[in-house]
Amino acid sequence: MNDILSPSPSESDLAFESALRPASLAEFIGQDNVSKQLGLLLKAASLQNRAPDHILLAGPPGLGKTTLAMIVASEIGAGLRVTSGPTIQHAGDLAAILSSLSSGEVLFIDEIHRMARPAEELLYLAMEDFRVDVMVGKGVGASSISLDLEPFTLVGATTRSGMLPNPLRDRFGYTANLEFYGHEDLATVLARAAKQLALDAHEDAISLIASRSRGTPRVANRLLRRVRDFALVDGAGEITADVAQRALELYEVDSLGLDRLDKQILEALIVKFQGKPVGLSTLAVAIGEEPDTIESVVEPYLLREGLIQRTTKGRQATSLAYRHLGASEPS
């Protein structure tokens, strides 16, 4: 997929986002219901002088799950420990992290659905009773030692909440389902970023970039950087709608925010398979891409925009996809 439209972060994205990241719920743009609910949860915990309930942040990549975890720690004045599910492959790894947490600290586990099963099972007891049972030794001489933990708040982030086992999901006191951003919220995100970067970006240019950002702030900020670079090299002192349009054309981002891979998928469904339903693995082979990339990165946006549909027989292009590509629907 064209890296410019991928919701997954690059190193430059992380550095850029860190510089622009809001520090409080009041500064956080979009996800209004989630912000209000989180604010209530944190305020209630503060009034009761206790650690907030464990929080699960679910939603597609690039919508602000990591930012919200940092805001939770900031709002309650606690430290933040950051790790990720793939790095926790043994129960002992998680036990070491949990036992080192101080009272009230926030533990953020990104991609929590990818944590190893033994670590998940250890987490059940830690979340509920703030203790862990650790096995010492091997074979017949092995014994279990119970370790008490300081009260902490776990913030888990997942792009696939359906992959979480029910016992783990049920132990979160609050689940926030993050949704794709609307045009106005994305324009506000971009205007704020442009101001912080001291860019002279016209309102119509901001609106144009927002309309092609796939409902994702991370993509919006990345497009803004590319348009800024284009304006710098082009010698334009300001970012106008014309400058933004030419920059986006250069990076092959069309009016719906589709890139080359998106169009490859639609063209394969429409031309190669003549509009008939196609299985995921067959589609992946046809365009030379990994099935997981199609399913988790590309497909959610195409489904949301109504360009493809899932049927019992496979993926199929919709009438909107035919119109967007200027193709004739089969009779």
- CA dihedral defined by 289, 269, 246, 257, rounded to 10 degrees? -80
Q: State the first-to-last Cα distance of the chain, in angstroms, to the nearest integer.
A: 32
Catalytic residue among 67, 158, 159, 318: 159
Angle between helices 260-267 and 280-287 (to 10 degrees): 120
140: how many CB neighbours lie within 10 A of its CB? 5
Smallest Cα–Cα separation from 57: which of 180, 172, 157? 157
Catalytic, out of 65, 214, 222, 315: 65
Q: Which of 110, 185, 259, 262 is catalytic?
A: 110
**DSSP bridge pairs for 175:** 56
Helix (H) or strand (E) holding 147: strand 143-148
How far, in Å, CA of 205 to CA of 228, rounded? 11
β-bridge partners, 317: 308
Is 50 designated active site? no
- Whether 110 is catalytic: yes
Q: How many Å apart are CA 302 and CA 315, to the nearest integer?
A: 11
The yes-or-no answer on residue 170 being catalytic is no
The reply to whether 65 belongs to the active site is yes
Q: Which of 13, 66, 171, 262 is catalytic?
A: 66
User: Cβ(185)–Cβ(29) under 8 Å?
Assistant: yes
Q: Which of 169, 212, 218, 222 is catalytic?
A: 218
Q: Which residues are catalytic?
A: 65-66, 110, 159, 218
